[in-house]
Amino acid sequence: EDQVTQSPEALRLQEGESSSLNCSYTVSGLRGLFWYRQDPGKGPEFLFTLYSAGEEKEKERLKATLTKKESFLHITAPKPEDSATYLCAGLSSGTYKYIFGTGTRLKVLA
Amino acid sequence: DAGVIQSPRHEVTEMGQEVTLRCKPISGHNSLFWYRQTMMRGLELLIYFNNNVPIDDSGMPEDRFSAKMPNASFSTLKIQPSEPRDSAVYFCASSKTGGTEAFFGQGTRLTVV
């Protein structure tokens, strides 16, 4: 069964304290690995798509990487406005369903 | 483009009543997804349409739930009769088939009392 697991469930960082969020996946015929940001009361907002092991994408203080078993979202020198829940999802080429992890709730303290 | 549009944003209803949630996907997207989000279970896929045809409804929890997509620009999710355990945020998302990212609406927060 396709599955996506994220860790940690919650993370508190001081402003400027870099860290990484983990997304482990077992998705048949992975067609893409997606990262989203979700703010309270809003829908998930697309951040990155990764298609093959070794691929990296960057946006401001965020960098996403992908291996054959997991993906990481690296946050460099975070700011309080980076506080949100970060979700990852695997897309199966067999079913074309996006399978989401339960997310990491990130809190960045000023 | 205005993005994925969902209505209503909030719905409070009494147990046993019928609830209809609505979604307008992004123009040109041919895949549409309905998700339910709760603190306990996260985002759960309920049903997936491709070119207006339901492809996978294995996530629909019970016969009380039904979904339709009469055309490329409109979909509904109906719960009849509603129960308190249906209280959650329901999201609609759309994408272009082929592995591109899905875009989400703002969600409908449903409370069944």
Q: B57-66, pLDDT tens digit by residue?
A: 999 988 999 9
**pLDDT at residue B98, rounded to an integer:** 67
A46/B102 touch (CB, cutoff 8 Å), yes or no: yes
| B43 Cβ under 8 Å from any chain A Cβ | yes
Task: Name the token pair of B82.
Answer: 């509603």
In tens, the pLDDT along A37-60 reads: 999 999 999 999 999 999 999 999
Q: What is the pLDDT of residue A60?
A: 95
Cα–Cα distance measured from residue B79 to residue A76, given in angstroms and rounded to the nearest whole number? 44
What is residue A79's predicted lDDT score, i.e. its pLDDT? 97
Return left, alpha or beta for B59; rule: phi > 0 is left, psi -120 to 50 is alpha, else beta: alpha
Residue of chain B nearest A51, judged by CA positions: B99
**Distance separating alpha carbons of residues A53 and A93, to the nearest angstrom:** 16
Model confidence at B1, in pLDDT bands (50, 70, 90)?
A: low
* C-alpha distances out from residue B48 to A86, A106, B16, B92, Å: 23, 30, 26, 10
Q: Return the pLDDT at A28.
A: 84
Split at pLDDT 50, 70, 90, the class of A97 is confident
> pLDDT tens, A11-38?
999 999 999 999 999 988 888 999 999 9
Which member of B48, B55, B91 has the closest CB to residue A43? B91
- pLDDT at residue A74 tops 70: yes
**What does the mean pLDDT of chain B come to?**
94
Cβ A96–B97 below 8 Å, yes or no?
A: yes
Query: Which residues in chain A are contacts of B107 at CB distance < 8 A?
Result: 42-43
Residue in A closest to B47 by C-alpha:
A97
B31 chain-A contacts, CB cut-off 8 A: 96
**How near does any CA of chain B get to the CA of A30, in Å?**
9
DSSP for residue A94: T
For residue A83, report the phi and psi dihedrals to the nearest 5 degrees.
Answer: -65, 125
Partner A contacted by B4 (CB < 8 A): yes
